Amino acid sequence: DAGVIQSPRHEVTEMGQEVTLRCKPISGHDYLFWYRQTMMRGLELLIYFNNNVPIDDSGMPEDRFSAKMPNASFSTLKIQPSEPRDSAVYFCASSLEGSDNSPLHFGNGTRLTVT
Amino acid sequence: SQKIEQNSEALNIQEGKTATLTCNYTNYSPAYLQWYRQDPGRGPVFLLLIRENEKEKRKERLKVTFDTTLKQSLFHITASQPADSATYLCALRTGGGNKLTFGTGTQLKVEL
């Protein structure tokens, strides 16, 4: 089991550019979560999917953020246009079942720096 | 407002002692609570889940308690080791669905 795989590990971009973060969940997991972590705000849930369908996107900061899950083995988080305040570590996590019964398995994150 | 609070200050303890970390929450009535460990540059790793009808749960040197009256969970590491040094996060389901909200975490440092 390779675990949750995120790419890239680091991304440095200039303000106004489009950024795409990628995630491959653990095979067989029905839930996928995108979190953002900063020193000031800690770990914040942005959006989660169940069986590839977005269920709750209330944490997505604004329209510049979008997430897709075209199939069970791949998800993307896109920021367009990026701003310096988007600088953070973005984590993807997956779980077998709902969080009542099943812990989250996190990837090692993408550290995004927007200059 | 709804909050999940953990000790914001780092906790420094001596090797062999018991570390106790606190997670307090307000305005929630969670059916369960989870604890995770996070090392620098890595994603959080699940440690334990405790349900509201379980007052205490143990796993090796780890012990978690859950007091739904006090709205508090305590996380204990007995016979602590330098390898236990990390940030520890509590998490609970907030609202409907499977939205898992995390506390801000407490950094633990175990010194020789």
Q: Given this model, what pLDDT does residue A6 score?
A: 98
Q: Given this model, what pLDDT does residue A1 score?
A: 64
Could you give the percent of chain A with pLDDT greater than 90? 90
Residues 6+ apart with CB under 8 A from B92: B4, B25, B28, B30, B32, B33, B34, B100, B101
CA of B35 vs chain A CAs: smallest distance (Å): 10
Is it the case that residue B2 has pLDDT exceeding 80?
no
Interface of A with B in 30-49 (CB under 8 A): 31, 33, 35, 42-43, 45, 48
Q: Given this model, what pLDDT does residue B89 score?
A: 97
The tokens of A14 are what? 């200039």
Q: Given this model, what pLDDT does residue B6 score?
A: 94
B3 in reach of chain A (CB within 8 A): no
Residues in chain B: 112
Is it the case that residue A98 has pLDDT exceeding 80?
no
Is it the case that residue B1 has pLDDT exceeding 60?
no
Contact predicate A4/A66, CB 8 Å: no
Residues 6+ apart with CB under 8 A from B48: B34, B35, B57, B59, B62, B64, B75
Is it the case that residue A83 has pLDDT exceeding 60?
yes
Q: Which of B34, B42, B99 sits opposite A108 (nearest CB)?
A: B42
- Chain A residue with CA closest to B89: the answer is A43
Is it the case that residue A41 has pLDDT exceeding 70?
yes
pLDDT tens digit sequence for B9-60: 899 999 999 999 999 998 888 888 999 999 999 999 999 999 988 989 999 9
Q: Are strands B45-51 and B32-38 parallel, antiparallel or unpaired?
A: antiparallel
Q: Given this model, what pLDDT does residue B72 score?
A: 94
Residues of A in contact with B105 (CB under 8 A): 42-43
Q: Which of A1-10, A68-77, A82-91, B92-101 has the lowest mean pLDDT?
A: B92-101
Letter string b/e over residues A3-23, b meaning 16 or more CB atoms within 10 A of that residue's CB: ebebeeeebebeeeeebebbb
pLDDT tens digit sequence for B63-93: 999 998 999 999 999 999 999 999 999 999 8
Q: Which of B31, B49, B89 sits opposite A103 (nearest CB)?
A: B49
B112 in reach of chain A (CB within 8 A): no
Beta bridge partners of A47: A34
Q: How far is CA B71 from CA B25, B65, B92, in A?
A: 6, 11, 12
pLDDT tens digit sequence for A18-39: 999 999 999 999 999 999 999 9
B40 in reach of chain A (CB within 8 A): no
- Chain A residue with CA closest to B52: the answer is A100
Q: Given this model, what pLDDT does residue A99 score?
A: 66
Mutation pick from A41, A99, A105, A111 vs chain B, by most beta carbons of B within 10 Å, is A99
Q: What is the mean pLDDT of residues A63-68?
A: 96
CA of B106 vs chain A CAs: smallest distance (Å): 11
Pairwise CB contact (< 8 Å): A100 & B32? yes
CA of B91 vs chain A CAs: smallest distance (Å): 10
